């Protein structure tokens, strides 16, 4: 069943009609609202970005690198990290461009409105077999206001492509589309049926883009055999990373004149007992031998706010505790247990406790001996690895049989004041995808 907001089309003409419906009163190529932004509008909206279709030769790596630069020039900063340089239009221009490009390459394309007009794009390329691979590429980037290098110029210099999103994670998108284009030009169908999926809201906002794709799959009764979540891993197949549970806690005390503390109940003192208890819990977690290469769970208090004035016993104190979950840990159980720990520590003060982001994410863990991990390791000449960061993989356990986080370039260059990707990594990942789609 299609949800309201879905658009589905198989050919370009249908696509144009669908987009015209999707964005009433506008045409496809000029359909995007332009807000204030300090970058060039033509590039920013993806207008005029037409990649000439390949001939029968392989697309040169330098051309693919230039395409990564083209995608950098379509800003797609997560709206939660918007600022004067980025504008607040989010992923819309990139998702619109991706839908059009994928349709031009022969995909069945669905545009899925996740939230506030921010669209996931699901592009299905029919393969020779019914084995289904999804490559999930998050469309958003982190903010750019802290950058010391031009955010969106996408220049090539020193055998690198520069700009926000170059390594995290637009390179994977340019590469996969280029390989599909080469195959189409030579009349080849991929061996697996391939979904190229662009998701919104990975960098911030509770992974609701990936959750939207997961829900869409479940509504359509679909399962994915092999899921590649695109992130910069230096082409190593990442088979595990931690999940997370966040607790938002308010401690309720009782206000009194600060000269008579015995008449009040100090909420900050209650929060202090909670912090001490959580630090002790962290020490306990740290003493457990880690069951997998992903390591142990951990917990820390990360934010505190409280107090109303310097002559009042504080009646309220808020704090945020972040818990990283290791593989095998049940995040719902963790939330219950931590909540109990917080309540006992605060006693006799009362607490309100809510689950941050509305969901508790179990760790992502894929057996390193599984087929996709082994294949990617072999093709890349890398060893299976684990990551310290999280990804969209946290949302896909129920809909994918195998999940791997994989992509060119290093996470060390992601989110930085200067972001770049080595062209050699683009070359390596391109070769891997050329083989993967023929396997």
Stretch that binds Zn ion, among 25-33, 150-158, 162-170, 367-375 (CB under 5 A): 162-170
Helix/strand/coil for 77: strand
**Closest to Zn ion by CB, 167 or 372:** 167
CB 229 to Zn ion: min, Å: 9
Interface with Zn ion by CB under 5 A: which range of 48-56, 106-114, 165-173, 367-375?
165-173
CB closest to Zn ion, residue no:
168
Task: Give least dist CB 285 to Zn ion, A.
Answer: 27
Using the minimum distance from each CB to Zn ion, give the nearer residue, 74 or 342: 74
**Which residues within the stretch 342-401 sit at the binding site for Zn ion (CB under 5 A)?**
none
What is the nearest approach in angstroms of Zn ion to the Cβ of residue 107? 23
Question: Smallest distance, Å, CB 405 to Zn ion?
Answer: 9
**Least distance CB 365 / Zn ion (angstroms):** 19
Give 348-376 as a DSSP string. TSEEEEEEGGG--BPPEE--TTSHHHHHH
- Figure out which of the listed residues 86, 169, 193, 233 binds Zn ion, where binding follows CB under 5 A: 169
Task: Encode 406-418: b = buried (16+ Cβ within 10 Å), e = exposed.
Answer: bbbbebebbbbee
Q: Which stretch binds Zn ion (CB under 5 A): 54-62, 114-122, 160-168, 310-318?
A: 160-168
Residue number with CB closer to Zn ion (168 or 419) = 168
Q: Distance between CA 12 and CA 29 in Å, rounded? A: 13
- Residue 296 touches Zn ion, criterion: CB under 5 A: no
Q: Kindly state the number of chain residues that form the binding site for Zn ion, as judged by CB under 5 A.
A: 3
Rule CB under 5 A: choose which of 91, 100, 104, 168 binds Zn ion.
Answer: 168
Nearest to Zn ion of 267, 387 (CB atom) = 387
Please tell me the distance from the alpha carbon of residue 321 to that of residue 226, in angstroms, as a whole number. Answer: 34
Instruction: Name residues contacting Zn ion, limited to 100-119 (CB under 5 A).
Output: none
Residue 111, strand partner residues: 7, 121
Ranges within 203-262 binding Zn ion (CB under 5 A): 231
The secondary structure of 401-419, three-state, reads EEEEEECCCCHHHCCCCCC
- To the nearest whole angstrom, how small is the minimum distance from the Cβ of residue 24 to Zn ion? 33
Q: Pick the stretch among 47-55, 110-118, 161-169, 303-311 that binds Zn ion (CB under 5 A).
A: 161-169
Q: Angle between the 267-286 and 331-346 helix axes, to the nearest 10 degrees? A: 140
* 169-177, 208-216, 370-378, 418-426 -> range binding Zn ion (CB under 5 A): 169-177
User: Which SS3 state, helix, strand or coil, does residue 245 take?
Assistant: strand
Task: Write down the least CB distance from residue 334 to Zn ion, Å.
Answer: 25
Within 10 Å of residue 231's Cβ, how many Cβ atoms? 28
* CA 325 vs CA 284, 329, 330, 360: distances in Å: 14, 6, 8, 9
Answer yes or no whether residue 166 interacts with Zn ion by CB under 5 A.
Answer: no
Structure tokens at 349: 């003060």
What gap in Å lies between CA 44 and CA 424, rounded to an integer? 27
Least Å from the CB of residue 28 to Zn ion: 28
311 DSSP 8-state letter: T
CB neighbour burial string for 337-360, b if at least 16 within 10 angstroms, e if fewer: ebbebbeebbeebebebeebeebb
Per CB under 5 A, residues contacting Zn ion are 168-169, 231
């Amino acid at each position: 069943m299609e949800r309201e907001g879905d658009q589905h089309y198989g050919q370009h003409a249908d696509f144009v009609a669908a987009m015209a419906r999707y964005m009433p009163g506008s045409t496809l190529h000029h359909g995007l609202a332009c807000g204030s932004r300090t970058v060039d509008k033509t590039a920013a909206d993806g207008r005029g970005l037409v990649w000439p279709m390949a001939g029968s030769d392989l697309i040169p790596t330098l051309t693919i690198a230039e395409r990564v630069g083209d995608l950098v020039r379509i800003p797609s900063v997560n709206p939660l990290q918007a600022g004067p340089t980025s504008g607040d239009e989010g992923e819309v221009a990139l998702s619109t461009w991706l839908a059009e490009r994928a349709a031009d390459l022969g995909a069945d394309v669905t545009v899925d409105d996740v939230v506030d007009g921010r669209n996931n794009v699901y592009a299905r390329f029919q393969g020779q077999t019914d084995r289904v691979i999804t490559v999930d590429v998050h469309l958003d980037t982190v903010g750019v206001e802290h950058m010391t290098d031009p955010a969106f110029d996408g220049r090539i210099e020193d055998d690198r492509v520069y700009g926000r999103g170059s390594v995290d994670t637009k390179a994977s998108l340019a590469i996969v589309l280029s390989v599909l284009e080469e195959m189409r030009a030579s009349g080849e169908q991929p061996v697996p049926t391939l979904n190229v999926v662009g998701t919104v809201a990975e960098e911030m906002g509770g992974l609701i883009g990936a959750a939207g794709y997961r829900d869409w799959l479940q509504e359509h009764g679909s399962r994915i055999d092999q899921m590649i979540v695109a992130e910069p891993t230096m082409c190593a197949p990442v088979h595990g990373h931690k999940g997370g549970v966040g607790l938002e806690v308010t401690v309720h005390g009782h206000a009194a004149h600060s000269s008579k503390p015995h008449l009040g109940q100090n909420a900050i003192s209650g929060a202090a007992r909670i912090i001490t208890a959580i630090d002790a819990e962290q020490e306990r977690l740290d003493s457990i031998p880690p069951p997998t290469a992903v390591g142990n769970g951990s917990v820390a208090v990360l934010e505190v706010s409280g107090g109303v004035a310097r002559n009042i016993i504080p009646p309220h104190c808020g704090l945020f505790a972040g818990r990283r979950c290791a593989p095998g840990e049940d995040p719902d159980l963790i939330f219950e247990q931590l909540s109990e720990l917080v309540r006992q520590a605060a006693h006799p003060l009362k607490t309100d406790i809510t689950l941050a982001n509305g969901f508790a994410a179990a760790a992502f863990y894929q057996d390193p001996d599984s087929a996709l991990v082994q294949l990617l390791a072999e093709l890349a000449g890398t060893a299976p690895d684990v990551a310290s960061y999280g990804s969209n993989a946290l949302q896909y356990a129920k809909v994918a049989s195998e999940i791997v986080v994989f992509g060119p370039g290093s996470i060390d260059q992601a989110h930085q004041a200067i972001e770049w990707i080595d062209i050699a990594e683009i070359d390596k990942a391109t070769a891997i995808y050329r083989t993967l789609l023929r396997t």
